[in-house]
Structure 1
Amino acid sequence: MLDQAGEICRRLDAGQRVVAATVVRVVGSAPRAVGSSFVVGSDGTVAGSVSGGCVESDLVERCRGVLDGGPAHVVSYGVGDELGEPGLTCGGTITVLVHDVTALPAGALHQVRRAAEGLDACVLLDAQGRSCTDDPLVTLRTPAAHPLLVVGAGEHAVALTRLAAGCGFAVTVLDQRPLFATKERFPDAYAVVRDWPGRWLAAHPLTASHAVAVLTHDQRVDVPTLTAALASPARYVGAMGSRATHARRVAALRAAGVGPEALARLRSPIGLDLGGSTPQEVALSVLAEVVMARHGATGRPLSTTTTPLHRG
């Protein structure tokens, strides 16, 4: 349920009732993890998923039944044996709680709003979809959104911010130019800051949860920004530019006193080798590398790996 917190809050704020179908148990291989949800508003609109589309049609009808006054209930889906029977194709089994989000008490709805704002949140639900404190059917938790600092407010930053925000990152855009660093250009950003990045970073230390993407091509910005970022515990630091730009940047960083161990952390040229060149394709390349680094993954095609597809 908390994975659809933003959608839930938008519907609640519009005066709608909302019913969610939330995965509470997974056995074997399944497309989505515990906590994944599918929501239906009283206006008939839907959002989210609990499978690859295998069981959502059945869940729409179940959610509509709860919207019409039916009780919350639990349903399980495995491999559908009967023709037309809803079921999974991946061989696993999921158990789903269909429940009325609107009926949750204020404390639980406050947690939903925390999740929508990118903050850590926790909700415990029983088998009737009620908030509880003891012996819950499922404990839903969401950590604070992963912070991504995007330095530079050009078109590549616009594309990266939009894509990263859609993937659950709390994006701060940092640029000293008032014409570019505006909320209108970055409506999906958690924050848009107009300041020289080096100065701002001196007052706002990065944490180990941070990823930093430097998308400028100005050494007056790049060198102090990367010097601060590489000295921080940030888990990912990348910088855009050609290989020639990278070589000049590394020389400038060495001259600024950045040591070889810190320089080895710099991912530049930024992103994975996907072959694209448009701002949107570059954004995909950068975000793919950020996600890969966060999970300690390889970036290899899944068709060449033998490890489980869905990590715990």
Structure 2
Amino acid sequence: METVAETVSRWRAEGIPCALARVVATGGSAPLAAGTAMAVSATGEVIGGVSGGCVDGAVYTLCLEVMAGEQPATAVFGPDGDELLAVGPTCGGSLEVLVEYVPAHGGHPVDRVTAALREGRPVVIATALDGPHAGEWTVLAGTTQVGNDDEDSRQTGEPRGGPIRARAAEMLGRPATAVVASPAGRVFVQSLAPPRLLVFGATAFAEALVRIGGLLGYRVTVCDARPVFVAPERFPAAAEVVRCWPHEFLRRTHVGPSTAICVLTHDPRFDIPLLTEALRTGAGYIGAMGSRRTHTERLTSLREAGVGESELRRLRSPIGLDLGARTAAETAVSITAELVAHHRGGTGAPLTGLEMAIHR
């Protein structure tokens, strides 16, 4: 949704209206999760998708119809879907899609969502699916510390303090979706909390990791203390490039469960104080580059620095999955593959031969 929202805001800035489609509910082995988005501009441009391709064509047509009528619409695809659409996921699952018209001019909450995400702030969008307020948004945006929050003036038919506002506040700061019943009808609540990827060490490996991390939806920061290597133009996909001693930067930045820390410096002067600090944070993933010999020596130094065994067990080193990687790009794929597996609970094993659901 984040990339699609960014594109929708860009189209609006260019004076181009569009239709925004979002998956609001799924059933069975649906190809993509609730919250997945697709947008179609009035010029025919498409961004994103709501399925593995099996229903995107039908949703594209629905988007054109919504743009023509400027009214929201919902459609169900699958075994219990609308037979008039005559299409459904080939996997046998089902999905419900909400399509909304987004005008080119005037205020629209999507711009506020985009602005907050650019700043690294978590956002919750509550959208009425039916009833008299169908298509109306309420946007709840938090601070980077996920503490105080503020809300826009548009409502989904519920006063402040109601169950939808309470659910949104509960979800703020963690990616999630829910359909909540209200007296005025169903409301789709979607929480967007851009995960952070902190890359320490402005190396060739970092150049590749930043690009792939950005594609995965991470808000990427590169940090290194060496001026000659930390040129921002080396990392155009990074949200920020910081010249600072890594452990000092880590002390002053926000780190939470959705934060991934990748240490690529491969230098004890940087690694030991940085990892000592990192292993005492609430980061969801902490990995460090280095050989097995380097890792063994690093563990000894960390113990001498007072890091406990329970903290050391959180460290993933050597970083990445065994892909046989040799190049910087292949190594970045190895690291991001481990990030995805860690986040989604995957095994990292080939799907061929595994007797388990692909979409858990």
1:195-243, Cα deviation, whole Å (9 max, x unpaired): 0112222333633332210001211111111111112222221111112
Q: Give a deviation string over 1:120-178, Cα, whole Å, max 9, x none.
A: 22131334533351335442422321122110011111111111111111111110122
Q: 1:92 is matched by which residue type in structure 2?
A: G
Q: Distance in 2 between matches of 1:184 and 1:287?
A: 22
* Residues 119-268 of structure 1 aligned to structure 2 (within 5 Å): 119-121=121-123, 122-127=125-130, 128-131=134-137, 132-134=155-157, 135-204=184-253, 206-268=255-317
Give the letter aligned to residue 232 of structure 1.
T
Secondary structure at the counterpart of residue 199 of structure 1: helix
CA deviations 1:231-275 (Å, max 9, x no partner) are 222222111111222222223223333333322221111001112
Q: For the Cα contact (< 8 Å) 1:2–1:115, is it kept in 2?
A: no
Tell me, in whole angstroms, the C-alpha distance in 2 between the residues paired with 1:2 and 1:270. 27
Aligned length: 310
Alignment-derived partner of residue 42 in structure 1: 42
The question of whether the paired residues in 2 share the 8 Å contact of 1:16 and 1:41 is answered with yes
Contact 2:268 2:298 in 1 (8 A): yes
1:75 and 2:75 aligned:
yes
Q: Is the 8 A contact 1:120 1:141 kept in 2?
A: no
In the alignment, the residues of structure 1 paired with residue 116 and residue 50 of structure 2 have an alpha-carbon distance, to the nearest angstrom, of 18
- Which string of whole-angstrom CA distances, capped at 9 and with x for unpartnered residues, describes residues 63-99 of structure 1? 22333345432222225999x9432101122222222
**Structure 1 unaligned blocks of 5 or more:** none
Q: Report the CA distance between 1:11 and its aligned residue.
A: 1.7
- Which deviations, in whole Å up to 9, do the C-alpha atoms of 1:4-43 show, x marking residues without a partner? 2122122222221111122223232211222222111122
> Is the 1:115–1:142 contact (alpha carbons within 8 Å) kept by the matching residues of 2?
no
* 1:292-307 alignment runs, 5 A limit: 292-307=341-356
1:25 match: 25
Unmatched tracts of structure 2, length 5 or more: 138-154, 158-183
Contact 1:24 1:97 (8 Å CA) reproduced: yes
Instruction: Please state how far the C-alpha of 1:308 moved relative to its aligned partner.
Output: 4.1
Structure 1 residues 294 and 306: CA distance shift in structure 2, 3 A: same
Instruction: State the distance in 1 between where 2:207 and 2:19 align.
Output: 34
CA distance in 1, matches of 2:348, 2:231: 33
In structure 2, what is the Cα distance between the partners aligned to 1:11 and 1:308? 38
Q: CA deviation at 1:306?
A: 4.7
SS for the counterpart of 2:103 is: helix
- Which structure 2 residues correspond to residues 79-98 of structure 1 after superposition, within 5 A? 85-98=86-99
Q: Which amino acid aligns with 2:97?
A: V
